[in-house]
Structure formats: structure tokens, C-alpha cells
């Protein structure tokens, strides 16, 4: 891993689900509650808008030690000065992404099967997003849910650390880590919750309470 990322509690922002408080305030609250990674994910924003939001997030997270990762948009990730980029199987090739961001930035990749996890090159990719563990309305057309056994198979096949994703709530933390995940990535368990800081803290306490 290029940078010592604490993947344990990873917030993925969604502009729709975060609409009440907004993405920046939600991110700040989540980090106050113990999230250490924040991903800017906005499927409908153009690069200019991604940069605008990303810069606001970067400023809001300054001094917290939390890392900002940008989904899909490599040029936005670079312009923002984000710590990393996260891409999926249908996005630009991993080799191309690594060449564009250079050695210092973190690169994350989504995988949905053990075969895809096995193909991940640790020289290029720092962590995988593994799942989806459960079906979730947050991501349209997601791949079939794999459950905790499927998650464990993806983790076992991977040579890089994994964050589990897909429908995860506080009650799933122990099983995700038991399957070998290094962290849980959540959208709706924090975004749009009445108190995102408290929601993040509950997740964090479950993580910190595990005997690993
Ligand atoms: N990738 C796989 S599932 C998912 C993403 C981005 C959405 C997860 O959202 P939630 O609300 O935590 O189920
Ligand atoms: Mg993508």
C-alpha cells in the first residue's frame, strides 16, 4: 500500500443520499465519528463539478488525517490533489490509471468475483472494493450479491487488502472482518442518516471492539 491508509471505516458519498446535510458536511461528520477514508462518488457530475466538490471536501478534511479518494474521474482526482482514485471494472484500465496518477497516489479497484480479485496486480493496485455483499438500492445494476462466503473467497484470492461493500450496516461489521476484509465501505449506513456522526461512531466502535 502506497500510503498507510486506514481502510477500516470507508465512507462512499452519494449526492442523492447526502442531499439533506450535503456531501461536505456529511463527510466532516463521518470523519468526526471515525471514518478515515472518504470517497467522492457522483455518477452525474462532470469533471468541473467533481473538482469543485472535491476541493471543498479536501478543505473540509484538511488536518483530520482522513484520505480523500475520487471515484472514476482521474483528471478530477489529480486536479483536486486527492489521495487516491477508485475505479471499477468498466472504467479505464488499471495500467493506464496508474500511469496517469503516478506512484504516490492510492489506486483502488472494485471486484465482484474471486477471479477478478486474483487478477489484481499489487504493483498497480493498493486495495480492492469487494462485494457486493448484499443487494442494495444505492447502486443501480450492481452485480449479484455474494454474501460473506463470497466476500471471503474474493479476499482470499486477492493479494491486496479489501474493503467490503454492499448493504453493510453496523451489525455486519464483525462478519465482514471475519471474512478477511480490512474494512467496511458504506453509503447509506452513514449518508442520509439523521445523525451521520453518530452512525459513523457506532460503526467505528464495532470495528474497534473486534478482537483481531
Ligand atoms: N458498489 C457496490 S455496492 C455499492 C457500491 C458503490 C453501494 C453501497 O451502498 P450501501 O448504501 O452501503 O449499500
Ligand atoms: Mg467506476
Q: Is the Cβ atom of 167 under 6 angstroms away from ligand 1? A: yes
- Please identify, by atom number, the ligand 1 atom nearest to the C-alpha of residue 41: 6
The per-residue pLDDT for range 186-198, each reduced to its tens digit, is 999 999 899 999 9
Q: Catalytic residue numbers?
A: 41, 110, 139
ipTM: 0.98
Output the pLDDT for position 211.
Answer: 81
Q: Is 71 marked within a binding site?
A: yes
Domain for residue 2, yes or no? no
Identify the CA nearest to 83 among candidates 20, 29, 150, 38.
38
Question: Are the CB atoms for 69 and 106 separated by under 8 Å?
Answer: yes
Q: Is 42 marked within a binding site?
A: yes
CATH number, domain of 56, equals 3.20.20.70
The per-residue pLDDT for range 128-153, each reduced to its tens digit, is 999 999 999 999 999 999 999 999 99
Q: Dmax over Cα atoms in the chain, in whole Å?
A: 44
Domain for residue 38, yes or no? yes
Q: What percent of the chain has pLDDT over 90?
A: 96
Domain for residue 3, yes or no? no
The per-residue pLDDT for range 156-172, each reduced to its tens digit, is 999 999 999 999 999 99
Q: Is 158 marked within a binding site?
A: no
- pLDDT averaged over the chain? 96
Rounded CA separation 183/10 (Å): 7
Identify the nearest ligand to the CA of 12 by its number: 1
Output the pLDDT for position 179.
Answer: 98
- Please identify, by atom number, the ligand 1 atom nearest to the C-alpha of residue 143: 2
Domain for residue 134, yes or no? yes
Output the pLDDT for position 4.
Answer: 79
Output the pLDDT for position 212.
Answer: 73
Q: Is the Cβ atom of 165 under 6 angstroms away from ligand 1? A: yes
Q: What is the CA(124)–ligand 2 centre distance, in A?
A: 17
Segment 105-130 mean pLDDT: 98
Cα 61-15-200 angle, rounded to 5 deg: 50
Segment 106-114 mean pLDDT: 98
Q: Is the Cβ atom of 186 under 6 angstroms away from ligand 1? A: yes
How is residue 38 written as a grid cell?
472518504
Output the pLDDT for position 137.
Answer: 94
- At residue 89, does pLDDT exceed 90? yes
Domain for residue 194, yes or no? yes
Q: Is 64 marked within a binding site?
A: no
Domain count within the chain: 1
Domain for residue 4, yes or no? no
* Length of the chain in terms of residues written: 212
Domain for residue 129, yes or no? yes
Q: Is the Cβ atom of 76 under 6 angstroms away from ligand 1? A: no
- At residue 1, does pLDDT exceed 70? no
Cα separations (Å) of 99 from 51, 57, 102, 107, 111?
A: 20, 25, 5, 11, 20
In terms of residue numbers, what domain contains 150? 9-208
Question: Are the CB atoms for 212 and 182 separated by under 8 Å?
Answer: no
Q: What percent of the chain has pLDDT over 70?
A: 99
Rounded CA separation 164/15 (Å): 21
- Please identify, by atom number, the ligand 1 atom nearest to the C-alpha of residue 191: 11
Segment 183-210 mean pLDDT: 97
Segment 42-55 mean pLDDT: 97
Rounded CA separation 132/139 (Å): 10
Q: What is the CA(40)–ligand 1 centre distance, in A?
A: 13
Segment 71-91 mean pLDDT: 98
Beta bridge partners of 200: none
Q: Is the Cβ atom of 138 under 6 angstroms away from ligand 1? A: yes
Identify the CA nearest to 120 among candidates 85, 146, 145, 93.
93
Amino acid at each position: 500500500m502506497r500510503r498507510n491508509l486506514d481502510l477500516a471505516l470507508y465512507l462512499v458519498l452519494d449526492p442523492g443520499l447526502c442531499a439533506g446535510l450535503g456531501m461536505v458536511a456529511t463527510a466532516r461528520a463521518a470523519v468526526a465519528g471515525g471514518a478515515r477514508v472518504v470517497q467522492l462518488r457522483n455518477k452525474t457530475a462532470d469533471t468541473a463539478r467533481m473538482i469543485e466538490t472535491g476541493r471543498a471536501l479536501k478543505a473540509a478534511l484538511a488536518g483530520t488525517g482522513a484520505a480523500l479518494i475520487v471515484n472514476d474521474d482521474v483528471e478530477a482526482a489529480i486536479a483536486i490533489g486527492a489521495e487516491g482514485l477508485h475505479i471499477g471494472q468498466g472504467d479505464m484500465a488499471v495500467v493506464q490509471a496508474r500511469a496517469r496518477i503516478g506512484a504516490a497516489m492510492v489506486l483502488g479497484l472494485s471486484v465482484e468475483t474471486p477471479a477478478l480479485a486474483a487478477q489484481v496486480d499489487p504493483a498497480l493496485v493498493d486495495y480492492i472494493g469487494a462485494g457486493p455483499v448484499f443487494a442494495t438500492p444505492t447502486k443501480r445494476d450492481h452485480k449479484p450479491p455474494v454474501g460473506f462466503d463470497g466476500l471471503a473467497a474474493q479476499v482470499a484470492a486477492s493479494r491486496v487488502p479489501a474493503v467490503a461493500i454492499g448493504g453493510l450496516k453496523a451489525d455486519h461489521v464483525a462478519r465482514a472482518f471475519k471474512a478477511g476484509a480490512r474494512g467496511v465501505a458504506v453509503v447509506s449506513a452513514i449518508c442520509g442518516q439523521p445523525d451521520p456522526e453518530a452512525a459513523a461512531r457506532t460503526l467505528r466502535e464495532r470495528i474497534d471492539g473486534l478482537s483481531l
